[in-house]
């Protein structure tokens, strides 16, 4: 960009008052003033993103991967489902909900509450939702196979306890299933994930 075009652009968008076209020292000063103004605008933008209401909304969208998904629309991958990966993804989404709301969601709508937090920048929304479905139920429409522990539902994480099972493979397969990891667990041997994020081998009744 030449000195003249830079000065014209700044003037036309209202960033700076009209600057005289000049070369040499005066032109360099004009460009320096433009650079200072642009730098200030960048600083203001950063302040808005991190310290204001709109900034909180931006950070929430970023955490959920929505912005990254928009930036990478042309580069998507299928989700390779597995139980441990699903549990870790659900636990991450539940923690994002917890950080936003101050508690875990209630048992009767926990999956609904985290659907928009389980997205990923490199996969479509439909692929990301497969994280809510146990792999052996992938071909069963309307079945999910995971439940939220009632001892964690609606609670602050410290009240629930770090070692408490958060989500587990369950006999109930409906959406938003919840209950007791021992009574409602899937069969004789299955897995769950704790509030602190550890995969745990479980056994039911």
Closest to 190 measured CA to CA, from 108, 143, 199: 199
pLDDT at 46: 72
Which residue ranges make up each domain of the chain? 3-51, 81-202
Q: Convert the pLDDT of each residue in 30-83 to its tens digit.
A: 787 788 878 878 877 777 666 666 666 666 766 666 666 666 555 677 888 899
**Count of C-beta atoms within a 10 Å radius of residue 24:** 8
pLDDT at 26: 67
Q: Convert the pLDDT of each residue in 128-142 to its tens digit.
A: 899 999 999 999 999
pTM for the model stands at 0.64
**Sequence-distant contacts of 77-83: CB under 8 A, at least 24 apart:** 77/122, 77/123, 77/127, 78/123, 78/127, 79/123, 79/127, 79/128, 79/130, 79/131, 81/130, 81/131, 81/133, 81/135, 81/138, 82/135, 83/134, 83/135, 83/169, 83/191
Q: How many residues does the chain have?
A: 205
């Amino acid at each position: 960009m030449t000195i003249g075009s830079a000065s014209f652009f700044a003037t036309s968008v209202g960033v700076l008052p009209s600057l005289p076209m000049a070369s040499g020292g005066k032109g360099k000063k004009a460009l320096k003033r433009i650079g200072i103004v642009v730098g200030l605008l960048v600083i203001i933008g950063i302040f808005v993103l991190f310290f204001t209401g709109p900034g909180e909304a931006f950070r929430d969208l970023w955490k959920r991967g929505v912005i990254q998904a928009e930036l990478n629309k042309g580069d998507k991958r299928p989700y390779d489902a597995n139980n441990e990966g699903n549990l870790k993804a659900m636990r991450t989404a539940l923690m994002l909900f917890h950080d936003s709301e101050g508690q875990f969601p209630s048992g009767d709508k926990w999956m609904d509450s985290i659907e928009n937090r389980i997205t990923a920048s490199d996969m479509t929304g439909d692929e990301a939702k497969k994280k809510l479905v146990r792999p052996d139920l992938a071909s069963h429409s309307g079945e999910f196979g995971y439940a939220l522990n009632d001892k964690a539902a609606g609670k602050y994480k410290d009240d629930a306890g770090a070692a408490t099972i958060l989500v587990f493979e369950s006999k109930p397969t409906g959406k938003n299933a919840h209950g007791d990891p021992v009574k409602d667990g899937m069969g004789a041997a299955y897995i769950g994930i704790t509030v602190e994020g550890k995969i745990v081998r479980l056994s039911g009744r």
